[in-house]
């Protein structure tokens, strides 16, 4: 009798596995991820099914994140028409950077309704010691509103310095809206968030983690780092709010101290300060995220999207944003990086802390290198994730054979997410070059079409190479076989990292 029931259970389990595999095939866009999840479901009984339903469901396809901020279809169409007209007008400017990268601008316009904005001031900020004094100064000058959205915001020296300004500004009547990722910013959940709310600031977790939905909510993280002040000044890039990003004292009056918990580790990262119309798309992203997580809907006003006036500083930088996440129809950030790589004619310089590129980026870099372009990749020598670093190394051999130069940063931990092509286009943002940033996380990159900014970022890249060690292709090829086996094994599950 027991054998009969055992056979029934086995038949039921096989049927369930088959149904789950069919679900994986139907629901997963990437062939690599499809195979990885199917192997997991088949060879890891019960647990594999649980892992897939926790981490593998394609929420982009299911559109559970409905964050549209313009509900009136006619108004939405009117705004889109204005964005298209504005972008096409800026594409006609006599700018060598945009002339060589029109296809990239068109892609972001069509895929993400992201306008190509002109007349921006842009400032590159290297590490926390350059970023945070600029942030503190800009926050102090806020008159109408402050919008802040961060993956990691820590209750430490710099976190409390910013908090004090937010509390004071809220008490003065400035509207303060604060979004934090409930996983990445878990140290502020109770005390700091309560203090902000008590002062009149509005603070919400982007996707509050509750036990019953723990796995899904951990998987879909808001990895963006956005500050928008009065709709005119914005900050975007890779630097979270944490003492660890500050390597040297910069200003006694700022209360900034170097290093934090990791004061012996040098953190290398990059951020942007943008002033001008380029901030409007950051504002749009923030408000869309706000409408999703807050108990209120922000009303669109001229104060949130101020038009240019005679007293607004006018720069000469062309800026466009690339944003994507489970709420977008396509992996816009992945597509924008691919287009930038394929449009490059001379040089591609990439810095990324996590390199799990997938086949499309891998092949694009190989094609570029084989076509005679200089392709250089800067990655961490020591990573904060040994497993991810192991999986990343499985891609190096193919790249090295094609002529890509790979450098491992030795001075500390490189956390910057940047790309420069032909000294014409500079990309700085929150997105790593990995599956998670392309498919699962909410991310944003800023694209600056400008020779001056691109040349400056190029100079910073080559300065970083002085603190890096280049991988020798011959020595890499001669490594023991078990190194390669370990790396390729890690690569099998890389799509699920």
Q: Does residue 411 carry a catalytic annotation?
A: no
Catalytic (active site) residue 261: no
Is there a contact between 216 and 50 (Cβ–Cβ < 8 Å)?
A: no
Band of the pLDDT at 260, cuts 50, 70, 90?
very low
Does 430 score more than 90 pLDDT?
Answer: yes
pLDDT at site 293: 87
Whether residue 214 has pLDDT greater than 70: no
Q: What are phi and psi of 277, to 5 degrees?
A: -60, -20
* pLDDT score for 497: 57
The catalytic position among 155, 230, 289, 434 is 230
Active site (annotated) includes residue 230: yes
Catalytic residue flag (residue 223): yes
- Answering whether pTM is above 0.85, one says yes
225 is a catalytic site residue: yes
pLDDT at 314 over 80: no
Residues 30, 358: Cα–Cα separation, whole Å: 9
Q: Could you read off the pLDDT of 145-157 as tens digits, one per residue?
A: 999 999 999 999 9
Summarize pLDDT for 21-34 with one digit per residue, the tens. Answer: 888 887 776 676 77
Mean confidence (pLDDT) of the chain: 86
End-to-end alpha-carbon separation of the chain, Å?
Answer: 43
Catalytic residue among 131, 223, 376, 424: 223
Q: Is the pLDDT of residue 218 over 60?
A: no
pLDDT surpasses 60 at 251? no
- pLDDT exceeds cutoff 50 at 259: no
Write the pLDDT tens digit of every residue in 335-358.
999 999 999 999 999 999 999 998
Q: Which CATH architecture has domain 332-496?
A: 2-Layer Sandwich (3.30)
Just give the CATH number of 123-313: 3.30.870.10
Which residue among 111, 289, 422, 439 is the active-site one? 422
Q: Which of 225, 271, 280, 317 is catalytic?
A: 225
Q: Which of 207, 415, 424, 439 is catalytic?
A: 415
Integer Rg of the chain from CA: 23
Note whether 217 and 210 are within 8 A (CB).
yes
* Model pLDDT, residue 392: 87
SS (H, E, C) the chain: CHHHHHHHHHHHHHHHHHHHHHHHHHHCCCHHHHHHHHHHHHHCCCHHHHHHHHHHCCHHHHCCCCCCCCCCHHHHHHHHHHHHHHHHHHHCCCCHHHHCCHHHHHHHHHHHCCCCEEEEEEEEEEHHHHHHHHHHHHHHCCCCEEEEEECCECCCHHHHHHHHHHHHHHHHCCEEEEEECCCCCHHHCCHHHHHHHHCCCEEEECCCCCHHHHHHHHHCCECCEEEEECCCEEEEECCCECHHHCCCCCCHHHCCCCCHHHCCCCEECEEEEEECCCHHHHHHHHHHHHHHHCCCCCCCCCCCCCCCCCCCCCCCEEEEEEEECCCCCCCHHHHHHHHHHHHCCCEEEEECCCEECHHHHHHHHHHHHHCCCEEEEEEECCCCCHHHHHHHHCCHHHHHHHCCEEEEECCCEECCCEEEECCCEEEEECCCEEHHHHHHCEEEEEEEECHHHHHHHHHHHHHHHCCEEECCHHHHHCCCHHHHHHHHHHHHCHHHC
Mean pLDDT across 289-298: 84
Q: Which residue has the tokens 């926790």?
A: 54
Among 155, 417, 439, 464, which one carries the catalytic annotation?
417
472 is catalytic: no
> Could you tell me the pLDDT band of residue 420, with boundaries at 50, 70 and 90?
very high
User: Cα–Cα distance between 119 and 275 in angstroms, integer?
Assistant: 9
């Amino acid at each position: 009798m027991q054998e009969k029931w055992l056979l029934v259970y086995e038949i039921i389990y096989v049927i369930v596995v088959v149904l789950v595999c069919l679900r994986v095939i139907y629901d997963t866009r990437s062939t690599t991820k499809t195979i990885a999840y199917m192997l997991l479901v088949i060879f890891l009984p019960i647990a594999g099914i649980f892992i897939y339903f926790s981490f593998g469901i394609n929420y982009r396809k299911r559109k559970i994140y409905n964050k549209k901020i313009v509900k009136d279809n006619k108004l939405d169409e009117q705004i889109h028409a204005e964005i298209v007209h504005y972008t096409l007008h800026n594409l006609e400017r006599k700018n060598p950077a945009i002339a060589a990268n029109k296809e990239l601008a068109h892609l972001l316009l069509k895929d993400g309704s992201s306008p190509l904005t002109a007349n921006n001031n842009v400032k590159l900020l290297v590490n926390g010691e350059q970023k945070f004094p600029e942030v503190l100064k800009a926050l102090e000058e806020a008159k109408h509103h402050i919008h802040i959205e961060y993956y990691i915001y820590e209750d430490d020296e710099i976190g409390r310095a910013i908090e004090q300004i937010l509390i004071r500004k809220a008490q003065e009547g400035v509207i303060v809206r604060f979004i934090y990722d409930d996983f990445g910013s878990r140290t502020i959940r109770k005390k700091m968030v309560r203090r902000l709310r008590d002062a009149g600031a509005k603070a919400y977790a982007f996707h509050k983690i509750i036990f019953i939905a723990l796995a899904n909510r951990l998987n879909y993280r808001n990895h963006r780092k956005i500050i928008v002040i009065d709709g005119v000044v914005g900050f975007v890039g890779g630097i979270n709010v944490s003492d660890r990003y500050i390597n040297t004292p910069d200003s006694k009056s700022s209360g900034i101290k170097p290093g934090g918990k990791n004061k012996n580790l040098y953190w290398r990262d990059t951020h942007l300060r943008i002033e001008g119309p380029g901030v409007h798309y950051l504002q749009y992203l923030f408000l869309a995220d706000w409408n999703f997580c807050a108990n209120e809907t922000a009303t669109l006003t001229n104060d949130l999207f101020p038009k240019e006036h005679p007293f607004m500083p006018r720069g000469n930088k062309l800026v466009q944003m690339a944003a994507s996440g489970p709420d977008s129809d396509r992996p816009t950030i992945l597509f924008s990086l691919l287009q930038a790589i394929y449009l490059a004619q001379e040089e591609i310089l990439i810095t990324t802390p996590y390199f799990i590129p997938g086949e499309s980026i891998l092949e694009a870099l190989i094609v570029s290198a084989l076509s005679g372009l200089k392709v250089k990749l800067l990655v961490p020598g020591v990573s904060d994730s040994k497993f991810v670093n192991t999986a990343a190394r499985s891609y190096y051999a193919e790249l090295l054979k094609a002529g890509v130069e790979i450098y491992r940063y030795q001075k500390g931990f490189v956390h910057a997410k940047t790309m420069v092509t032909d000294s014409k286009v500079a990309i700085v943002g929150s997105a790593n070059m990995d599956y998670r940033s392309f498919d699962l996380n909410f991310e944003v990159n800023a694209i600056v079409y400008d020779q001056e900014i691109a040349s400056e970022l190029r100079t910073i890249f080559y300065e970083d190479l002085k603190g890096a060690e280049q991988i020798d292709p011959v020595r890499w090829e001669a490594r023991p076989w078990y190194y390669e086996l370990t790396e390729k094994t890690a690569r099998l599950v890389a799509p699920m990292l």
